[in-house]
Copies of this chain bind each other. A is one copy, B any other.
Amino acid sequence: MTEHDDPVVLGPSSGVPELDERKLSTLAQVGHHWRNAVADTAAWHDALPVDPGLRAAAPDPRGRFSRVEFVRDGADPDVEATPHAGVMPTAGGRTLNLARRLALGRPLRSTAVLEERMRKVIALPVLSSDALSSVAYGPEAMLVVLVLAGSAGLALSLPIAAAIVVLMIAVGLSYRQTIRAYPRGGGSYIVASDNLGPWPGMIAAAGLMLDYVLTVAVSVAAGVAAITSAIPELAPDRVPLGLAAIAILLAGNLRGVRQAGAIFASPTYAFILAIALLVVVGVVDAAGRGFAATPHPPVHAVEGLSLLVVLRAFSSGATAMTGIEAISDGVPSFRPVEWRNARTTLTLMVSLLVAMFVGTIALIELDGIVPSSSQTVLSQLAHLHLGSGVLYAYVQAATALILLLAANTAYSDFPRLLFFLARDFRAPRLFLRLGDRLAFSNGIIVLSVAAAAIYVAFSGRTESLIPLFAVGVFLAFTLSQSGMVMFWRRKRGPNWRRALTINAIGAGLSAIVLVITGVTKFTEGAWLVVILVPLLACWFWRIRVHYDAVGRAIELHRIPVNDACRAVIPVATAGLGSQRKDEIGRAEGEESPDELAHLIVVPLASMDLAGMRTLAYAASLGQPMLAIHLSPDDDDADRFRRYWKTWGDLLPLQIVDSPYRSLVVPTTRYLEALHAQRPDLTITVLLPELIVRGWHRILHNQLDVRLRRALRNHPGIVVSTVPFHIPDG
């Protein structure tokens, strides 16, 4: 459940694929090819004008180094950045840092990624908060549908609940098999990818991602409902209350809050206790009247009792199962023997879930409770049996707390899923990055924004969110358990037929629920999920296609042996057009330094200090260079030529008349025309850039930005600026 289940997999450098033997040998061969060009490697070290190891780091005159930013560890040749090196030495940088430290705490070292193992007594509440908390909205979601068919509908609540219980047990048993097979954690994405192939994996991941977003939205909505049931005055503030809850979850998770502590265990036990209390008191009350069911208040049937209503009620009630997969994801956080402890915990959790679900439904039936828009069903039960005092408050508080904790579960699962996707190059690589506090900050932020947007879009109403909820969950269940069926078929092993049968039943039942949910809830919102899941999956696929293309493009190639007798044109004797290299357009090939032919072009507007510094910078590199000047008219051309001659006409200059006065495009086209003469050249464009602060920027042309954009797609052209800093004024 925490982001550090598996330190081998989830460390900061674990997303970087290692080079295999073949690639290492290519690398060595490339190095060999370079050796001619680099020649004396010791000379390069000797030439360094600074000490890269910062051994002689002088105290900065401005006192900047009073805080040690880089340290060295004896024999270790590396320099190590201290937290001070992460702060820009400006007022803005320090303020930002202070704000981050206040919000997030001190940054944690990468080595702080530790595996945290949980005892069963802690793991049970931590990993089952999502599943058990579903009791707070699942039964109610079912009744909300049944009540549409009036008393006849409500009468069906027990049989439907029975079907859901069967489903819970089947899925629970099915996940017991997954735990055995994937002791390192078998999330639906991994199981489906491994056994069914990338597409089912990506679809499962898409379903899960939506599920996690909805878990946050639904749990927060239900938690807020628990609060507004107790304090009806807060009902109009549902949206700000929910957003505040999401903000707390965001901040807490960015801080990298540990979940395995007693703080996170207590709400679950408190909630179990609350439901138990409710059920016991309720049953005692019912016993007092000889278990005679209180009749429902008269309910006006809005629609006839049809199969559709029954199925919709079933699929709404099945949301009580969400979160059941959590333990199979989190196997590595158990103490050894992990899978055995995890299985025991899963069995315990499913038993509790079934008991609480059945107890709640039975009590509702006995007491003739009907869902109301102003109060949750749980709140009604609590009022009925526990009055309005401290016990009632306890039930509501425990409900709100466990729902918040359930939302928090998604905050571990969603970024971790994105990490797995990113590791497989199916999500942007930025989701690999560990934040200051070793949490996957980017995923946490994306989840918060998405959940907040959905929460606001649905005005925080649980009943509107429920129809979207179940599709993603049962899609992931189905794919994950179908994957397990394939797993057993391939892997065999002891008792594989029994395991396969159990998973097949789980997969089959999940698939049935998936279809029921998709069809009956389609118009109520499930269509959104039905559209989004394939779109997301396609996006994951496109990302992989792109990263694969990039990987192929930047992979080192072995250099052919006959390329050794290469005909490099020495710069000093390079002629004009006729002597072009054979490989036209090969401006970004795999070259060693001596194969690179340079031309430096300096576009100059005027002969000022910034321009002269750029010229000096260019000339000091000792490569062929050309200054160019664009003139809007002949007056300007003549004037600039005169200045250039006055200066001494020291370097080659070409004046380009631009009688239509545009600058960027003609400069671009001129550079392209030069490049067309010698496509093998690497042309470096060096522009003077005046660095000014703030709004003053609009007072200067952004030629570098525009030229860089215009030349962006042209291979073999480097655009660079030589900055010239203007004091404020």
Contacts and interface: CB of A to CB of B under 8 A. Distances in A.
Given A554-B610, A670-B79, A52 B86 contact: no
A650 B725 contact: no
Interface in A210-249: none
A620 interface: yes
Contact of A555 (B61, B434, B609, B673): B609
B713 A691 contact: yes
A550 B86 contact: no
B616 A596 contact: yes
Contacts of A693: 713
Contact of A659 (B80, B550, B647): B80
Given A38-B619, A723-B718, A654 B52 contact: yes
A620 B718 CA distance: 14
A58 interface: yes
Instruction: Give the interface SS of chain A, mostly helix, strand, loop or mixed.
Output: mixed
Contacts of A606: 16
Q: A56, A433, A659, A719 — which one has the most chain B CB atoms within 10 A of its CB?
A: A659
Contacts of A523: none
Contact of A51 (B27, B577, B696, B713): B577
A621 interface: yes
A674 B24 contact: no
Nearest to A45: B652
Contact of A660 (B81, B554, B588, B712): B81
Nearest to A43: B572
B85 A670 contact: yes
A27 B610 contact: no
Indicate how many identical chains form the complex. 2
Interface stretch (A322-330, A332-340, A467-475, A697-705): A697-705
A599 B633 contact: no
Contacts of A726: 549-550, 553-554
Nearest to A430: B701
Contacts of A710: 88
Given A51-B576, A643-B27, A616 B593 contact: yes
Contacts of A728: 549
Contacts of A453: none
A158 interface: no
A556 B646 CA distance: 13
B626 A52 contact: yes
Contacts of A418: none
Interface string A545-558: 11111100111110
List 6 tightest A-B contacts by C-beta distance, closest first. Answer: A549-B729, A31-B648, A56-B577, A720-B720, A13-B636, A12-B632
Given A588-B725, A622-B622, 11 more contacts: A13-B632, A27-B646, A34-B616, A49-B597, A50-B577, A56-B577, A81-B666, A546-B729, A556-B609, A591-B613, A713-B725
